């Protein structure tokens, strides 16, 4: 772990021509309760984490910036995707210097490679659809950041995620709760459902009550050096390449051509490697037909791409494993919730039946005329209004058939 020299705190003052008072109200950013307390802020080098550090300073905390170096792109100057390499570290360092807070950089490329990149590649090679951001949060960011923050004696950890935490009192049976962000276009609660009660009690998301334009406004008002920095739109380690290119470079076996078949086994075309396809895909299959085909399943053992109609692609139910419930309790009775199977996907009404305590398993049955298009490996997250109840990983998809029957695909 390396650090930059400490700088004199508080050099930044707001541009008086920009009114920030409404954005810095306690009902927007949290209470001004930081006197005598220290917060570690996860600094990615982007505008969201920069404003998070600024907001926590405005709330009275002694701020310590911490950057996790997770992945170094192959190109020397890191242009492929600068969010994880040296440019990101330098932007985070510059922000901390501007705000006047200490900065620490931690190299966690090995942990990230093992827990996130290797899992991503292997899951895609098995025909599943993983979410690397969720796995990064689960295995790297919150586990190690919380540990490091506590090692430094910090009272809390803050990150630039768009979500909200309402802290409870577990000693009195009142759990901490996780909610969607105010800005639904930026909400990241889908990739945070694995957080434990211990983590939720220690972590703050001060941007959860702000919108992205308001965050930019604060950055400009205080003259932060990353105020106009563009957002990273891709998975950090993939960059501007395709998922298929990234995976095939590490697993050349996934590029073998094979048959495109219907559910009944009729061969109707050839694919150029299963890695080029995901369940639910409509474009790029390469088959002309009166109605578009959708990818239903990737049969990796047979190297077959199974396609069908949109109706066939819709799930009637899914089997879920690695389930965690955000409030910590494991409901014994089935419960109704809105289920989301894609990042910022549309919610589907569903009934969730959990397995025995400790099993980590559940079955989710969808209601209504149209179910979501789901894939093994995807996360499914359960909501009640804006509250995150929990979630898990889809292991098997039960799909509707044209004749009303159901069939499982895992």
Closest CA to 391 of 367, 347, 280, 369: 347
Residues with catalytic roles:
136, 236
Residue 353's CB: how many other CB atoms inside 10 A? Answer: 15
Cα-based angle 62, 64, 69 (whole degrees, multiple of 5): 165
* Cα 116 to the center of its chain, rounded Å: 12
Integer angstrom CA distances of residue 386 from 30, 67, 175, 347: 18, 30, 16, 11
Give me 92's structure tokens: 């985070």
Question: What is the Cα Rg of the chain in Å?
Answer: 23
Tell the burial category of 111 from Cβ atoms under 10 Å away from its Cβ (0-12, 13-18, 19+): middle
CA 180/CA 163 separation, integer angstroms: 5
- For the chain, the maximum distance between any two Cα atoms, rounded to a whole number of angstroms, is 71
**Crossing angle for the helix pair 47-58 and 86-99, to the nearest 10 degrees:** 20
Residue 209 in contact with residue 184, Cβ under 8 Å? no
Residue 291 has phi, psi (to 5 degrees) of -120, 145
Residue 163, classed as helix, strand or coil, is strand
């Amino acid at each position: 772990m390396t650090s930059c020299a400490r700088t004199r705190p508080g050099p930044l003052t707001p541009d008086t021509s920009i009114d920030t008072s409404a954005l810095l109200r306690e009902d927007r950013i949290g209470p001004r309760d930081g006197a005598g307390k220290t917060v570690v802020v996860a600094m990615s080098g982007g505008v969201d984490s920069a404003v998070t550090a600024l907001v926590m300073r405005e709330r009275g905390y002694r701020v310590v910036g911490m950057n996790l170096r997770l992945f170094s792109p192959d190109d020397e100057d890191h242009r492929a995707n600068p969010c994880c390499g040296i440019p990101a570290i330098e932007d985070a360092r510059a922000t901390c210097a501007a705000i006047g807070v200490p900065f620490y950089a931690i190299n966690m490329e090995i942990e990230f490679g093992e827990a996130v990149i290797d899992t991503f590649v292997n899951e895609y090679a098995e025909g599943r659809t993983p979410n690397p951001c969720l796995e990064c949060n689960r295995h790297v960011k919150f586990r190690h950041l919380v540990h490091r923050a506590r090692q430094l004696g910090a009272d809390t950890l803050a990150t630039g995620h768009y979500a909200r935490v309402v802290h409870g009192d577990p000693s009195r049976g009142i759990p901490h709760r996780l909610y969607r962000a105010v800005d639904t276009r930026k909400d990241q609660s889908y990739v945070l459902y694995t957080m434990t009660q211990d983590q939720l009690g220690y972590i703050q998301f001060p941007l959860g009550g702000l919108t992205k334009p308001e965050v930019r406004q604060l950055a400009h008002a205080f003259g932060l050096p990353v105020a106009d920095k563009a957002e990273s739109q891709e998975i950090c380690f993939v960059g501007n390449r395709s998922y298929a290119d990234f995976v095939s470079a590490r697993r050349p076996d996934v590029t073998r051509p094979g048959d495109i078949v219907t559910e009944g086994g009729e061969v109707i075309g050839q694919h150029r490697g299963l890695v080029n396809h995901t369940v639910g895909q409509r474009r790029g299959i390469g088959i002309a037909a009166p109605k578009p085909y959708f990818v239903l399943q990737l049969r990796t053992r047979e190297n077959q791409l199974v396609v069908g109609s949109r109706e066939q692609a819709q799930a009637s139910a899914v089997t879920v494993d690695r389930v965690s419930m955000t409030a910590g309790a494991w409901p014994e009775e089935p419960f109704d919730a809105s289920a989301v199977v894609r990042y910022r996907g549309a919610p589907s009404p569903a009934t969730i039946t959990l397995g025995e305590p400790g099993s980590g398993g559940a079955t989710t049955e969808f209601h209504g005329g149209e179910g979501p298009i789901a894939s093994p490996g995807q996360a499914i997250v359960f909501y009640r209004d804006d509250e995150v109840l929990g979630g898990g990983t889809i292991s098997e998809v039960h799909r509707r058939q044209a004749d009303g029957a159901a069939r499982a695909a895992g």
